Amino acid sequence: MNGDLVDRGSWSIEVILTALAYKWLYPNRMFINRGNHETKEMNRTYGFEGEAKHKHGEQTYKLFAHLFTVMPLATLISATKPPVDSSNAILSPEGKKRFFVVHGGLFSKDGVTLDDIRKIERIGRQPGQEGLMCELLWTDPQEMPGRGPSKRGVGIAFGPDVTRRWCQANGVSGVIRSHEVRQDGYAIEHDGLCTTVFSAPNYVDQAGNRGAFIRIDAAGTQTYTQFDAKPHPPMKPMAYASGGMASLLS
């Protein structure tokens, strides 16, 4: 699960507790990345802090706030078999596909390695406004080559050439990220090296998008499953947000 489990609606507590229950039940099969909304500042603005305190009290929110800092910033998924067709694929040193799964995206500078990411001290820390942790949770792909300013005011936008260089340098077959609505639930970008997947259908009851998830088989082949929104009880999205804020910022 690739971040932003909370703040996406008015049942964030139920969503995150269900995910944690699966993590407890299947600790070696369930993995939950941190998103830019698993942070104190965003929870205060978009509603999770208010929801957690309303439903279960302040101490429960404090426990969640610490839990979010323990979540991984990214996950590396490695195929167990060589690909059927590797003619155009970037492969790991073992000759297999592997995918870098992260909520936001890549970096404001070249040369960042997987080891650099592993060494980030995350526990008990917030991402701030700059640096590797911030960029992992906040950046977005752009169509133009190179790097550009972020439409969000935090992080940067990175082009297809940036993605290719980073994947080649790290032996990564593709980046799988979330963080942005896609009308079909997913979009394959940057010449196939960057895939955005967004699993909240009809985001905040307004966007009209489908949701999707990705399945990766043993050879590293990706398939996509789309789904539509279902009716829910009459509670508006982000009902616990400060000032009643309901933004499409993801």
Question: Active-site residues: which are they?
Answer: 37
Distance separating alpha carbons of residues 169 and 179, to the nearest angstrom: 24
* DSSP tally for the chain: helices H, then strands E: 7, 10
Neighbours of 214 (CB within 10 A): 18
Collect all residues with Cβ–Cβ distance below 8 Å to 185 and sequence separation of at least 6: 197, 198, 199, 201, 209, 210, 211, 212, 224, 226, 227
Phi/psi at 99 (5° precision): -125, 135
Distance separating alpha carbons of residues 227 and 88, to the nearest angstrom: 30
Collect all residues with Cβ–Cβ distance below 8 Å to 139 and sequence separation of at least 6: 104, 105, 106, 107, 108, 150, 155, 156, 157, 158
